[in-house]
Chains A and B, each alone.
Chain A
Amino acid sequence: MIAELKERLDRLSKLDAQELKEVLPLIVNETRHSGIKEAMIEVPDLPARIMRRLVEIDAAKFASEAPEVVNCFADFLWEAAGIVAERTGRLKLLERFNEVNVSLEADDSPFACHFRINEGELSGGSGLWRLKDQDFKYFGSTSVLMRLLTGDLDMQRALFTELNFEGHPSWLLKLGPAMVIVIPSILRGY
């Protein structure tokens, strides 16, 4: 299974949007089938590779045309991230807060996801936190949010240009190390 998965991922850069709509659910299923933990060891940059391809082919258009595929991917994304975080203990190094609930919402497509960091553990999925539970929200174009997650966004510049937020500004500072370094490194595999 892992070999098949690797093969699909190798072809990722050649797939157009239509093909990706069919292949992305297969990748997610195969990964689950193989065991996400094992898959993420074998292909540690799996989530980042998918998001980078989505950005290349127009992530907003893709998410608008295939919202269920993107939701399925968002569920997988945070499940995988949580497993890697647990395995590597990377988030435990951050002692700046105990618990925070963060939403990410695209302003040009239905893409929305959320995560929680709680004492070094990471969990999340598709959709947004309800306002009563949300501490902070990043929003912007689908592409900007995906670049944020893969670490391909110049955060300092983006905060004044492409990336918006809702919530208390102090979270920007508190979340900085997680958003700029740890989560992208989990999703990129380094």
Chain B
Amino acid sequence: MKVDTVCLRCHQKCDLVADVENGKIIGVSGVACIKGATIPDAMYHPDRLMHPLKRIGERGQGNWARISWDETLDTIGSKLKDIQERYGPEAIHWSGGSGEKQVADQAEMIARRLWPLPNSHWGRYSCVTPGGVAEMVTFGDYITYENGPDYEHTSCLVYWGSNPDVATPANAQKARSALRKGAKLIVIDPRPTPMAKRADIWLKIRPGTDMALALAMANVIVNEELYDKEFVDEYCTGFKRLREHVQRYSPDWAADVTWLSTDDIVRAARMFATTKPACIYQRCGATAQRVDATQTGRAIAILVALTGNVDVPGGNLLYFATFVDGRFWHTYLSSAGIKCPAQIEKRRMGARDYPLWNRRGPQMCNVPETVRGMFDGRIRALWCCGDNLIVSEMNSRKIWEAMKNELELIFVSEFCMTPTAELADFVLPAAFYTEVDNLVESFQYPYNYVTAMRKVTEPLGECKDDRWLAIELAKRMGVDIEPWGSVEDWLNWRLKLRGVTFDQVWDMPQHRLTFPREFRRYEKKFPPFGTISGKVELYSTELEYWGYDPLPVYNEPPESPVSTADLFREFPLIYTHRRLRNFQHSEDRHIERQRKLEPEPYLEIDPKTASKLGIKDGDWVHLETPTSSKKGWRVTYRARIVPELLEGVVVGPHGWWFPERPGPEHGCFDSNINALLTHDPPYDPVIGNTQCRGILCRIAKNEG
């Protein structure tokens, strides 16, 4: 039997057809990558958790007893209630990763409103949200996020620190279609990604200096009058101040800072500004995981605005405006629409210190503050919902310590045992997303629809939907669960505004609500953009209101060859991350077909550096940072010599662990950069995240 479904193994949401026999998925078709192909491998893996487990003995000893769901829910529910009464709802923390995708997100929304639950975070707090907040204060909308660029119809595509063949393979296919038709390609990346190698201009930038490049490009575009005068005059504010501001960021200046040539910077600026339409895709490369992430996002957003490539075919689409009919399909807008009661909303960790983030971001707490809260008693309970927190979050060792020794209650819902689950009091078997009913949003050209995703098979064993778990725990906590007494209620409530039920959407053609989309809605809207001035804010009055720089000001990374020259002599390399084509974040290291493609954690090293250090391809090497070396911490990788990688830069995978190594750690500190990173300052002033790439390091070959 063939059953339509959607792949939620990454953010692309490819349509799939599952081949089902005897209640089991035996294959899938329509996949764009290995992660889709291995859905059956993940579902039927022998390590899949099937029953609720309760810890016996000390945390981390690995002794578990099988218990019933009733006992699990009663015990956790009463403990949560007790913690709420003693310390307030803010003492409970929810942590979600990319696992289980939207189902986990929805479980959090339900808990946020019902329990209530003000302190939650997803891994994306440090990756997509800084750029997102930058774009919200500029355009009142997202624009360069993966759904923004109109890849297929562009004449000039800029990949800024992103490797679409690995991260967003379905979008890479669309981009290649435009390239075949003659579109220009600019890639900004120290690594020789497939796109970089075929680019018209490849800017091998020094990690951490993207803002300098963006400001210098703005300098060229403004001074050579290559900007879109009509769009700027009609729809932007602050142009004069921007023009004055960028004078200090000349291409010559930026060439020194970025390790690029003046000529290349000028060529890139001219190509981007004069080839219409053009679009930029940036995600975690330039505007994430750094202390200048938000303002770098601003600098790049300003380039889109200056060139008028705003919501035009082939340009960058405004995520909410372009897809507005679809995007606002449900009763309350996804993460932003559902709030805790007002006084509890204010108690979110970081809400006071990062007020703009708290308003414009997706209602997440500040993670460094939350981890501190685990030690000083402000956080007492933790629900990791499809999140391998210890592996995927920086400051792994500290989080390990907090989970091992500090918290009163930890429960983890997961597909298989992880280092994080090993420290839990309860491990709960989560239903796979093909085992639950769901409503899946796909808003990205040419898609604009919400799909009813009916469970393809029944959940295995005693696996349960996390949304059900959030509701059942709410019942045990004695709170008003209306209007979400069941997952079915939740799904139908989300469709209330549309006047249809989940079953009715399932019966529609392709099981989906399809919405119209329209370019340049801002021409008909008042105000045209969702900002304080109602225009695109080149000079951000919202940033100014909250006390931040209204125009992006370049600062060197906290550790760099320039800002810490002495340290650079001792730690002469710059570390950055890369995505893996076979894994989504820290997931699936146990899935053989995926692991085969990259079985070990490889550190990419340029040939000259490797030669200087006597490192050969395949050698085991270890890496230290200035902070970790003081503590004697290091991580090891298999060396991969990469010709054309920018000299002096090393690139590692993030979130590596070894399910095959002994528990409870499963090698989570062995080859994972997060084991060397801390939550110590400095922080991005708007978002509060730390610098976890573009950092100094040194490497050496392992002896013996």
A157 touches which of B341, B482, B532 (Cβ 8 Å): B532
Stretch touching chain B among A67-75, A102-110, A114-122, A179-187 = A102-110
Q: Give every chain A residue within 8 A of B331 (Cβ-Cβ).
A: 167-168
A170 CA to B321 CA in the complex, in Å?
12
Q: Is the C-beta of A190 less than 8 angstroms from some C-beta in chain B? A: no
Asked if A164 contacts B359 (CB within 8 A), the reply is yes
Evaluate contact between A108 and B343: CB separation under 8 angstroms.
yes
Most-contacted residue by chain B among A105, A139, A157, A166 (CB, 10 A): A166
What CA separation (Å) do A105 and B341 show in the bound complex?
Answer: 8
Contact (Cβ within 8 A) B339 A168: no
Is B67's beta carbon under 8 Å from chain A?
no
Contacts of A164 in B (CB 8 A): 339, 342, 345, 359
State whether A105 touches B532 (Cβ < 8 A): no
Q: Is the CB of B343 within 8 A of A107?
A: yes
CA distance A169 to B338 in the complex (A): 11
- Rounded to whole angstroms, the CA-CA distance of A169 and B332 in the bound complex is 8
CA distance A164 to B342 in the complex (A): 9
Is A137 interfacial (CB 8 A cutoff)? yes
Partner of B337, one of A105, A108, A157, A166: A166
> Does B534 sit at the interface, judged by CB under 8 A?
yes
Q: How does the 8 Å CB contact mask read for B536-551 relative to A, with 1 for contact and 0 for none?
A: 0000001001000000
CB pair A132 B482 closer than 8 Å: yes
Q: How far is the CA of A114 from the CA of B483 in the complex (A)?
A: 18
Pair A105/B482 contact, Cβ less than 8 Å: no
**Residues of A105-149 whose CB lies within 8 A of B:** 105-108, 130-132, 137, 139-140
Determine whether A156 belongs to the interface, using a CB cutoff of 8 Å to chain B.
yes
Q: Are A168 and B333 touching (Cβ within 8 A)?
A: yes
Interface majority SS (helix, strand, loop, mixed), chain A: mixed
Is A18 interfacial (CB 8 A cutoff)?
no
Residues of A within 8 A of B542 (CB): 160-161
Q: Are A106 and B534 in contact (CB under 8 A)?
A: no
Interface membership of B346, Cβ < 8 A? yes
Q: With both chains docked as a complex, state the minimum distance between the C-beta of B362 and any C-beta of chain A, in angstroms.
A: 14
Smallest beta-carbon distance B490→chain A, Å: 12
A131 CB contacts on chain B under 8 angstroms: 113, 480, 482-483
Asked if A130 and B345 sit within 8 Å, CB to CB, the answer is no
Measured as residues with beta carbon below 8 angstroms from the partner, the interface class of chain B is 20 to 34
Residue-by-residue, is A1-29 near B (CB-CB < 8 Å gives 1, otherwise 0)?
A: 00000000000000000000000000000
Q: Are B333 and A130 in contact (CB under 8 A)?
A: no
Kindly state the separation between the CA atoms of A164 and B497 in the bound complex, as whole angstroms: 21
Count: A-B pairs, CB below 8 Å: 59
A107/B483 in contact, CB under 8 A: no
Please give the distance in Å from A102's CB to the nearest CB on chain B.
Answer: 14
Shortest Cβ distance from B136 into A: residue: A160
Instruction: Kindly state whether residue B478 has any CB partner on chain A within 8 Å.
Output: no
Q: Provided the pairs A156-B534, A160-B359, A161-B545 are in contact, do residues A107 and B480 lie with their beta carbons within 8 angstroms?
A: no
Interface centre among A108, A130, A156 (most CB of B within 10 A): A156
Assembly CA distance A170 to B324 (angstroms): 10
Give chain A residues whose Cβ lies under 8 Å from the Cβ of B328.
168-170
Distance to closest chain B CB from A181 (angstroms): 15
Residue of A130, A137, A161 most packed against chain B (CB within 10 A): A161
Chain B residue with Cβ nearest A111: B342
Chain A residues closer than 8 Å to B333, beta-carbon distance: 168-169
Which residues from A are CB-within-8-Å of B177? none
Please state if A168 and B482 are interface contacts (CB–CB under 8 Å). Answer: no
- The reply to whether B339 and A139 contact each other, CB–CB distance below 8 Å, is yes
- Complex-state Cα separation, A161 to B483, whole angstroms: 30
Docked Cα-Cα span, A139 to B328, in Å, equals: 21
Asked if A160 contacts B342 (CB within 8 A), the reply is no
Q: Are B345 and A168 in contact (CB under 8 A)?
A: no
The answer to whether B531 has its CB under 8 Å from any CB of chain A is yes
Chain B proximity of A135: nearest CB distance (Å): 8
Tell me, yes or no, whether B527 is within 8 Å of chain A by CB: yes
- Complex Cα distance, B345 from A131, in Å, reads 16
Q: Mark B342-379, 1 if CB is under 8 A from A, else 0.
A: 11011000000000000100000000000000000000
Taken together as a complex, chains A and B put the C-alpha atoms of A23 and B339 apart, in Å, by 36
Residues of chain A within 8 A (CB-CB) of B359 are 160-161, 164
* Minimum CB–CB distance for A110 against chain B, Å: 8
| Complex: A132 Cα to B343 Cα, angstroms | 20
Most buried by B among A131, A139, A140: A131
B332 engages A166 (CB within 8 Å): yes
CB distance from A38 to the nearest CB of B (A): 35
A107 touches B345 (CB 8 A): yes
The reply to whether A168 and B342 contact each other, CB–CB distance below 8 Å, is no
Are B341 and A168 interface neighbours, CB within 8 A? no
Q: Closest chain A residue to B336 by CB distance?
A: A169
Contacts of A170 in B (CB 8 A): 328
User: Chain A residues with Cβ under 8 A from B346's Cβ?
Assistant: 107-108
Decide: A168 and B531 in contact? CB cutoff 8 A.
Answer: no
Report the bound CA distance from A141 to B328 in whole Å: 27
A167 near B342: Cβ-Cβ < 8 Å: no
Instruction: Tell me which of A108, A132, A160, A168 contacts B532 (CB under 8 A).
Output: A160
Assembly CA distance A20 to B70 (angstroms): 53
Give residues 57-107 of B contacting A (CB, 8 Å): none
Chain B residue numbers with a CB within 8 Å of A137 are 339
Bound Cα distance A160, B532 (Å): 7
CB distance from A166 to the nearest CB of B (A): 4
* B343 vs chain A, min Cβ distance (A): 5
Q: How far is the CA of A14 from the CA of B48 in the complex (A)?
A: 71
Could you say which residues of chain A place their CB within 8 Å of the CB of B497? 168
Q: How far is the CB of B688 from chain A (nearest CB, A)?
A: 19
- Which residue of B has the minimal Cβ distance to A112? B342
A185→B337 CA distance, assembly (Å): 29
Residues from chain A with a CB closer than 8 A to the CB of B113 are 131
The interface residues of chain A lying within 8 Å CB-to-CB of B480 are: 130-131
Chain A nearest CB: distance from B528 CB in Å? 12
List chain A positions with a Cβ less than 8 A from chain B: 105-108, 130-132, 137, 139-140, 156-157, 160-161, 164, 166-170
A-B contact pairs, 8 of them (CB 8 A): A160-B531, A164-B342, A166-B337, A166-B339, A167-B332, A168-B328, A168-B337, A170-B328
**Chain B residues engaging chain A, CB cutoff 8 angstroms:** 113, 328, 330-333, 336-339, 341-343, 345-346, 359, 480, 482-483, 497, 527, 531-532, 534, 542, 545
6 pairs of A and B residues whose beta carbons are closest in the complex:
A132-B483, A107-B342, A139-B342, A166-B339, A105-B342, A132-B482
- Additional A-B contact list (20), CB under 8 Å, known A108-B343, A161-B542, A164-B339: A106-B343, A107-B342, A107-B346, A108-B346, A130-B482, A131-B480, A131-B483, A139-B342, A140-B342, A156-B527, A156-B534, A160-B545, A164-B342, A164-B359, A166-B338, A166-B339, A167-B337, A168-B328, A168-B330, A169-B328
